[in-house]
Structure 1
């Protein structure tokens, strides 16, 4: 938590506070002739003001005000003002005036009620109220920062959880692909292992960052597509178009792959005829546009319309978008006869 003190220096902050106090009360008499006399009077009242300030901030405020014991705080504050006023009177009559003004003043009783009341109301009450406001604001800032920290930690934990969900879900599908090839003793199996190694390296290391280059994310998608091409052979037609300066754009890792994975899982794997997937990624004028379309069998439920395991990918990425790009993205999922599309636009920070 950041310090509330000027230049992170507690002593300097307190010194500047009391310098400001002296300047304000001495400055009230700017038009008078003898400024030094008024300055000296403020000096002799300084111990009483300091007693009010520190007892209020470090005793009365935490003991009564924070606990909402306002009546007890009010009584204690009045007693504090009275005691401090008496101390100021003692200093004035016993030491200050005899030392600095021995010929122009005369001894008065300590308990001159008018003088005590004037000191309490005019000189000491503002110190009490000002230090009370300081403590209230200080507590409010602490609560706000604590709440922001809690929200930040909660957001971070949820994002990490969602990211962790992507890993086993994606790995499960890829291993199924590899299993099918090994059953057929396909010569493509080693290539699949190599691509899988690259995919796992990306997920285990690169994706741990909050943001990653769009170029790396696109390469991750390409590796996934290569695996799917090995699985579906000539039955699958894939078109992927990338435009814009993708090296200069950073996005949340593993954000694109759920859309592509969804297209293959729900638009390709359940169909026996020739199937197609088109992927368009465009970076332009502070925006990132991703559009994924795939052939779709109308007799099958659309992805994301049910809560079963087949909807995990889109549900996950939708939640991540809401967390990472609030008010800065637009996601449209559309289903038409024979076609399913996902259109995402993100405003880059």
Structure 2
């Protein structure tokens, strides 16, 4: 649907101001004339019906039925015909009605119909009005199409983001339930703690993460809860640290954006090793930029984040990379590296 822009949101006021501007412009053209501006203003006022006829037929008939349908030859033919008919009616109205009625002392009846005046009115008075209104309609149509395109693009991106976010939820839940399943097999007393932590995590995913942006401190708390779950699973053989620095208060970030990197640190590094393992997570906010560095040990044989993103594995990392591209275009940097003894994820995001 075409979105029309009216002055002060008032259609009638917009049209009245347009025609007032028309009269003033054409009167101003004769500013140096000998008969005075008021005389020229009255002359233009007499031609106003013809100008209005051209304008509204062009706007509401010729443009939507011909020009917008790309029937340009038919539009040009119809526009020329419209100009001629409007000029003819203008001449008849002036000579037969307006001048004899309102100016009987200063005008006289022409025995011969003055045809050249018709073409003068067509080219000098009415053609500019038609071209101007055509330009207005073309620009209005272009802006309308651009708005529709942007709305469609926004809806497409929104749908894709929702799809990616929906994929994050079951992926995260799958990993966490596997942890809980391992503890129940061992009849561990830590299982109830896992259920309690899992409840907090699910509450975050179901409610808090539905917004476009979440407080950074809540996202960090979500990561901290996940780490506590992993500590319960791996026990003393896991050395994990979470370091946060900088001013995180008041900062916002897309929800569930950081947790996939932490998940993969455990899934592709810690879970593959039997000896003592470690994970280090450093988050720092400085000058509106968030720096996230995740490092974890590995055996050298397992596939890590860099391998997964390159060779097609790691659903969570694929999704988060796509979400970064959509949500933070040109305002983030992601580097995944595999060293001989550890993996590194280095992410920088400009916070909005």
Greater Cα shift, 42-51 or 90-99? 90-99
SS across alignment from 1:282 = strand
User: 1:94 deviation in Å?
Assistant: 1.5
Greater Cα shift, 179-188 or 115-124? 179-188
Q: 1:330 to 1:274 in 2, by over 3 A?
A: same
Q: 1:286 to 1:203 in 2, by over 3 A?
A: same
Aligned to 2:75: 73
Q: Pairwise mapping of residues 185-204 of structure 1 onto structure 2 (< 5 A)? A: 185-204=187-206
SS across alignment from 1:332 = strand
Q: 1:309 to 1:193 in 2, by over 3 A?
A: farther
User: 1:200 deviation in Å?
Assistant: 0.3
Aligned to 2:348: 345
How far, CA to CA, are the matches of 1:11 and 1:109 in structure 2?
A: 41
Greater Cα shift, 302-311 or 189-198? 302-311
Aligned to 1:208: 210
Structure 2 unaligned residues grouped into runs of 5+: none
Aligned to 2:11: 10
How far, CA to CA, are the matches of 2:107 and 2:236 in structure 1?
A: 110
Q: Pairwise mapping of residues 1-349 of structure 1 onto structure 2 (< 5 A)? A: 3-32=4-33, 33-108=35-110, 111-306=113-308, 310-349=313-352
1:25-60 CA deviation, whole Å, 9 max, x = no partner? Answer: 011122234222111111110000000000011111
Greater Cα shift, 2-11 or 72-81? 2-11
User: 1:301 deviation in Å?
Assistant: 2.4
Q: 1:110 to 1:202 in 2, by over 3 A?
A: farther
Residue pair 1:258, 1:314 contacting (<8 A) in 2 also: yes
Structure 1 unaligned residues grouped into runs of 5+: none
TM-score, normalised relative to structure 1: 0.97
Residue pair 1:81, 1:120 contacting (<8 A) in 2 also: yes
Residue pair 1:214, 1:250 contacting (<8 A) in 2 also: yes
How far, CA to CA, are the matches of 1:315 and 1:111 in structure 2?
A: 80
Greater Cα shift, 198-207 or 104-113? 104-113
Residue pair 1:90, 1:110 contacting (<8 A) in 2 also: no
Residue pair 2:335, 2:346 contacting (<8 A) in 1 also: yes
Q: 1:204 to 1:266 in 2, by over 3 A?
A: same
The runs of at least 4 consecutive aligned structure 1 residues that moved more than 6 Å come to none
